[in-house]
Amino acid sequence: MATIGDIGVAAGFNILGAFIFLLAFAILRLQPLNDRVYFPKWYLRNLRTDPTTSGAFVSKFVNLDFRSYIRFLNWVPDALKMPEPALIEHAGLDSAVYLRIYLIGLKIFVPIAFLAWAILVPLNWTNITLEHEGKIIHRISGVDKLSIANIPVGSQRFWGHVAMAYAFTFWTCYVLRKEYETVALMRLQFLASEKRRPDQFTVLVRNVPPDPDESTWELAEHFFLFNHPDQYLTHQVVYDANKLYKLVKKKKNLQNWLVYYENKYNRNSSQRPFMKTGFLGLWGKKVDAIDHHVSEIEKLSEEISVERERIAGTPKSKSIMPAAFVSFRSRWGAAVCAQTQQSKNQTIWLTEWAPEPCDVYWRNLAIPYVSLTVRWLVVAVAFFFLTFFSMIPIAFVQSLATIEGIEKAAPFLRDAVGMDFVKSVIQGFLPGIALKLFLIVLQTILTIMSKFEGSISLSSLDRRTATRYYIFNFVNVFLGSIIAGSAFEQLNSFFHQPAKEIPKTIGVAIPMRATFFVTYIMVDGWLGLAGEILMWKPLIFYHLKNFFLVKTEKDRCEAADPGSLGFNTGEPIIQFYFLLGLVHATMTPIILPFIIIFFSLAYIVFRHQIINVYNQEYENAAAFWPDVHGRVITSLVISQVLLMGLLSTKQATQSTPTLIALPVLTIWFHWYFCKGRYESAFEAMMKDTLERAKEPNLNLKEYLQNAYEHPVFKASEDEEDDEINDDGWENESVIVPTKHQPRRINTPVPSKISGASSSSLPEAVQELPQP
């Protein structure tokens, strides 16, 4: 086990690395050449101009204002000074609530760390159990003496750990309840203050049964006119337009090249640009570039017209899927339809709430509904094998990242790794790096699984990926690292022992593996956050694209596109730190200060990124919060069960049974005080009444009839390329009116971040329901 000195060396390396990254960021963000990389959100909203387009030649690339370098740390107060209501209007409720997860970490762990270090650390340290232990597997260090492992068998001191377990549980539940109440109120306020959205009136109907006499369009209309005569308004059938999208994407690329060659010709009108028609323009017939691209675009336009006619030209088109977006006259009517069974046959006319148009993952709407169950089963089996078989290579990598593993694999390095400094680096730094590198490709694999499974919206795709990522982290990073440790052979005994013995095995191993998780927090948390704000990968890729691939201003904007916040992988990583903190709080409190530093730094870094960098793809009004709350509760229950397992091996026969009530109370608290009380969304009937009073002449059918039309059909042939998103046609870009200056945001009209003020709440939603 690593010593406190090894942890100090690892902390020194990570603090130095983080400082270098943060200093590099503070300097690079001031350079005009990097302005689009570090402030892309403001460019997307047309609120920032490119500094490289004006001024002296040198000043276009290097910031010559030396006074700005004195204020290079101003990004920290700038990130913190924007109040939460302004942040919600600027970035949306999803982003603002995502930041609150870091604040919850601070609210939970700062008091817990104070109690643990004031009570549990003295209880552990003042024993001499490990020093008199006759059979010790691991080398004793100061870290061991700070853990529960230093308490003798059957000691009455375990009552202190039991009391602290209750205190930590009650405090965590109190914070979670207050935060759930706050987020629920924010959600109600946001939904009550925003303008109408198509998804509030629309449901997605799937598995429409075939009819020999009627098309899907006619059948859907007749069915809902008969079953919902007072509420049905209009509907749009779902098309399989994947082939059309490829043609549109190809045309978009050709139009971009055409703009490039036209700009080139305008700069030098004495010579027409030429190109070769072969592979990458390296060989083939030499032709006039402008004429060639005009001709190719005309051919593609004809193909697109033919394909559009084939898809939507006839009611019996084979491209029409047995699904439709059905819109109603009121939110109440849509809610009734979405939550009720439409037919005696439970396999047809299946309804669910429609995602908002920019949240729809159009590619998966073309998947037949009958194949979704098969896809779900395939993904479940694949994820099971991915999760449990990954434990073997992770354990192997972890074994090589220790002194014993290196000496065993490479005996000739024994003398080198025996040096104190090298030993400290290996034990305090290498294990975290090895695990981090192994998990790099995991995010992509899990996202591909969720897409294959058939998620119909980007938000559900993100939430499913996040759930799998959390499970994978728990099984492999947490359990795998604890059980495997430095001995690869321990896995065999773990897999073959009775299930009731697993909590005991894990509980005993946790204090001995605390230093590994400390190094993991420093590498993944501290150094990782510094790398996040430095954005070294987007920075390099932007300049490479700008030098080799950018042909037009549109290309330059796409090269600097930062993407979205990444809830699918970011939230499970945060939850892993909650798990580590809650599990180690009563066993090895030394880990808590490192987790507090992570949450503090992460809050500042991601607040800056949300304000200046990341641009949301969709807005779900914090609908992900029940998942966040549920995973923290899960971590709390896991910590209680593992503590019971550990105390049972310490022969604490009197204190251990008192812990049995904790998991029961925690689960009861989750279901009764939080899930049952705060999970309701908003009152649809009240919203409809208010809207009819304010806009009695509203033509809702005109507003909804094309809201869920496939993006490839929305624009005219000359403009459709600008309406298509490269990754699945999820987004459209419009100007959103607000109380502040005009801004561009990737969301369809009407905007989720409307000009309606979020500072006041209608009286009807001022109070949450009481039990």
| Per-residue pLDDT tens digits for 349-367 | 988 888 888 888 888 887 8
Nearest to 124, CA basis, from 650, 656, 663: 650
Alpha helices, DSSP H only, in 473-566? 481-484, 490-496, 502-512, 514-520, 528-534, 536-548, 553-559
The band of 371, judged by pLDDT with boundaries at 50, 70 and 90, is confident
Rounded Cα distance, 555 and 14, in Å: 37
Taking 3-state DSSP, the helix, strand and coil percentages for the chain, each rounded to the nearest 5, stand at 65, 5, 30
For residue 304, name the pLDDT band (cuts at 50, 70, 90): confident
Q: What is the residue-wise DSSP string for 116-182?
A: IIIIIHHHHHT--TGGG-S--SSPP-HHHHTSGGGSPTT-TTHHHHHHHHHHHHHHHHHHHHHHHHH
pLDDT of residue 284: 75
Amino acid type, 369? Y
* pLDDT, tens digit (0-9, with 9 covering 90-100), for 169-185: 999 999 999 999 899 88
Q: What is the pLDDT of residue 617?
A: 83
Is the model's pLDDT at 378 over the cut of 90? Answer: yes
Q: What is the mean pLDDT of residues 371-376?
A: 88
Estimate to the nearest angstrom the gap between the alpha carbon of 217 and the chain centroid.
Answer: 36
Q: For residue 107, give the nearest of 503, 476, 599 by alpha carbon.
A: 599
Distances (CA, A) of 592 to 268, 584, 686: 65, 8, 46
CA distance 585 to 592: 7
3-state secondary structure of 548: helix
* Region of residue 232 (phi > 0: left; psi between -120 and 50: alpha; otherwise: beta): beta
DSSP 397-453: HHHHTSHHHHHHH-GGGHHHHTSHHHHHHHHHTHHHHHHHHHTTTHHHHHHHHHHHH
Strand partners, 312: none
The sign one gets for the Cα dihedral 426, 431, 433, 438 is positive
Instruction: Reply yes or no on whether the pLDDT at 575 is more than 90.
Output: yes
94-142 confidence digits (pLDDT tens): 999 999 999 999 999 999 999 999 998 888 777 665 554 444 444 555 5
- For residue 650, the number of C-alpha atoms closer than 13 Å in the C-beta half-sphere is 29
Closest alpha carbon to 628 in 470, 393, 763, 410: 470
Nearest CA to 662 among 167, 69, 89? 167
Contacts of 758 by beta carbon, 8 Å cutoff, 6+ apart:
85, 88, 89, 189, 190, 193
pLDDT of residue 682: 37
CA distances from 638 to 110, 164, 516, 612, 641 (A): 20, 16, 19, 37, 5
Residue that wins the pLDDT comparison between 409 and 597? 597
Confidence of residue 290 (pLDDT cuts 50, 70, 90): confident
pLDDT in tens, 6-29: 677 777 877 888 889 888 898 888
Q: Choose the weakest-confidence range: 55-69, 298-312, 755-769.
A: 755-769
C-alpha separations of 5 from 424, 430, 432, 688 in Å: 7, 15, 17, 65
Q: 100 with 51: CB under 8 angstroms?
A: no
Comparing 82-91, 272-281, 453-462, 721-730, the range with the smallest average pLDDT is 721-730
Quickly state the pLDDT bin for 731 (edges 50, 70, 90): very low
Q: Which residue has the higher pLDDT, 618 or 702?
A: 618
Where does the pLDDT of residue 247 fall: very low under 50, low under 70, confident under 90, or very high at 90 and above? confident
Alpha carbon distance 485, 509 (integer Å):
8
Q: How far apart are CA 624 and CA 607, in angstroms?
A: 19
Between 66 and 296, residue with greater pLDDT: 296
pTM, entire model: 0.80
Mean pLDDT, rounded, for 426-446: 69
- Surface-to-core class of residue 589, CB atoms within 10 Å of its CB (0-12 exposed, 13-18 middle, 19+ buried): buried
- Report yes or no: 514 and 591 within 8 Å, Cβ to Cβ: yes
Cα angle 172, 176, 182; round to 5 = 150
Which letter does DSSP use for residue 457 in this model?
A: B
pLDDT at position 413, please?
59
CA distance 129 to 8: 25
Asked if residue 566 has pLDDT above 70, the reply is yes
Tell me the average pLDDT across 384-410.
Answer: 67
Give me the half-sphere count of Cα atoms (radius 13 Å) on the Cβ side of residue 663.
Answer: 14
pLDDT tens-place string over residues 52-69: 665 566 666 777 777 777
Q: Residue type for 597, please? A: I
Residue 507 has pLDDT above 60, yes or no: no
Helices (H) and strands (E) in the chain, counts: 38, 8
Tokens 């039309």 belong to residue: 709
State how far the Cα of 652 lies from the Cα of 377, in Å rounded to an integer.
Answer: 44
Distance CA 462, CA 314 (A): 36
Residue 102: the pLDDT is 95
Residue 53: the pLDDT is: 60
Is there a contact between 494 and 571 (Cβ–Cβ < 8 Å)? no
| Res. 373: pLDDT tops 50 | yes
Q: How far is it, in rounded angstroms, from Cα 751 to Cα 756? A: 10
CA distances from 110 to 64, 516, 600 (A): 43, 22, 11
Structure token pair of residue 554: 């549109």
